[in-house]
């Protein structure tokens, strides 16, 4: 799900809900999080029972829990797990892990018992995790995400995911990161606010700078911030939650630009056309190729002095008779 444009200081984020496997999210530099999970086999350490608060996907947690139990007891099976849960279907666990079934208000407490969660904080976190992963409503999903981050903070755990979420969902974080590559960029919140046409407060700029520093995307060198090279790894769960907010804000900004900015500063274009539904993927790929070309062109442009946003939307105006 990640692609890095070599030699570039720009951020290319074609975030879209329900992205196909071929769709890429091109993100700026950051070395892989130290919180990234490694299997006992790859790390050479003794298997340990997974900590639920280290997960943003309860299905992955269940998968790792079962693998841990299996590594300590070769006779452990899906059937034994379901017996512990007080459920009769031995295939239920695999279907849940594979995403073919969800947990309900009836099966949720049974699964909590099966994995042996006893501390109230862990139980609450697992319950929130289930609601978060199974929620389809963007605004509600963001609410659950923030509650999960609050629970992690209470336990004194790293909330790197919160900084990652703020980065992907907030246009200001993205804009400041790209601004750091400008030839005249200054490590001054007031200067940044003025360059942003005073559409943001100095306080918001300072908070965004702190997040970017925490993520390792920029660092203070002398009297200026500079972009840090590397590869940014962001969990799919964080990306999917941030998608809605990012696009919604960018659409609002586009509307503002349409009304307030001189035509010499912007370019608005559109086309209404028809094609065979079977050719949709071809058109999507051509749009993505265009986006990559623009990003590579701007990434290799020396002495950049302005930051622009390119939004691309392709949406259906009709619905066919066939399902």
The two three-digit tokens of residue 278, written as one number: 């079977």
> Is the Cα dihedral 63, 69, 70, 71 positive or negative?
positive
Determine the pLDDT at residue 19. 32
Convert 52-112 into a string of H (helix), E (strand) and C (coil): HHHCCCHHHHHHHHHHHHHHHCCCCCHHHHHHHHCCCCCCHHHHHHCCCCCCCCCCHHHHH
- Does the pTM surpass 0.75? The reply is no
Phi and psi angles of residue 172, each rounded to the nearest 5 degrees, phi first: -65, -40
Q: Return the number of other C-beta atoms located less than 10 Å from residue 285's C-beta.
A: 13
pLDDT in tens, 302-317: 788 999 999 999 999 9
> Contact 259/289 with Cβ under 8 angstroms?
no
CA 211, CA 164: separation in Å to the nearest integer? Answer: 8
Between CA 96 and CA 194 the distance in angstroms is 51
Tens of pLDDT, residues 131-173: 999 999 888 988 999 899 888 887 765 667 778 888 888 899 9
Please check the confidence at residue 323 and state whether its pLDDT lies above 70. Answer: no
C-alpha–C-alpha distance, residues 21 and 25, integer Å: 11
* pLDDT score of 317: 94
Are 16 and 308 in contact by the 8 Å Cβ rule? The answer is no
């Amino acid at each position: 799900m990640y692609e890095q444009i070599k030699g570039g200081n720009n951020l290319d984020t074609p975030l879209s809900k329900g992205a196909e496997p071929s769709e890429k999210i091109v993100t700026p530099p950051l070395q892989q999080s130290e919180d990234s999970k490694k299997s006992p086999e790859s790390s050479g350490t003794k298997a340990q029972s997974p900590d639920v608060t280290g997960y943003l996907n309860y299905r992955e947690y269940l998968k790792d829990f079962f693998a841990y139990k299996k590594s300590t007891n070769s006779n452990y099976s899906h059937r034994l797990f379901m017996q512990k849960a007080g459920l009769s279907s031995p295939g239920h666990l695999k279907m849940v892990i594979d995403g073919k079934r969800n947990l309900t208000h009836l099966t949720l407490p049974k699964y909590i018992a099966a994995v042996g969660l006893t501390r109230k904080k862990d139980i609450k976190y697992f319950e929130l995790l289930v609601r978060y992963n199974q929620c389809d409503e963007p605004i509600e999903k963001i609410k659950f995400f923030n509650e999960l981050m609050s629970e992690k903070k209470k336990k004194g755990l790293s909330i790197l995911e919160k900084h990652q979420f703020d980065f992907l969902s907030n246009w200001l974080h993205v804009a400041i990161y790209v601004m750091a590559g400008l030839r005249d960029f200054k490590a001054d919140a007031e200067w940044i606010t003025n360059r942003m046409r005073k559409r943001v407060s100095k306080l918001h700029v300072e908070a965004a700078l702190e997040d970017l520093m925490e993520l390792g995307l920029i660092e203070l060198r002398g009297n200026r911030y500079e972009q840090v090279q590397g590869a940014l790894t962001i969990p799919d769960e964080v990306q999917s939650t941030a998608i809605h907010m990012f696009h919604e804000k960018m659409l609002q900004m586009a509307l503002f630009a349409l009304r307030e900015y001189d035509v010499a500063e912007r370019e608005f274009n559109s086309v209404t056309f028809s094609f065979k539904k079977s050719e949709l993927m071809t058109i999507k790929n051509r749009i993505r190729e265009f986006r990559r070309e623009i990003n590579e062109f701007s990434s290799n442009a020396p002495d950049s002095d302005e930051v622009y946003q390119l939004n691309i939307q392709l949406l259906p105006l009709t619905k066919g008779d066939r399902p």
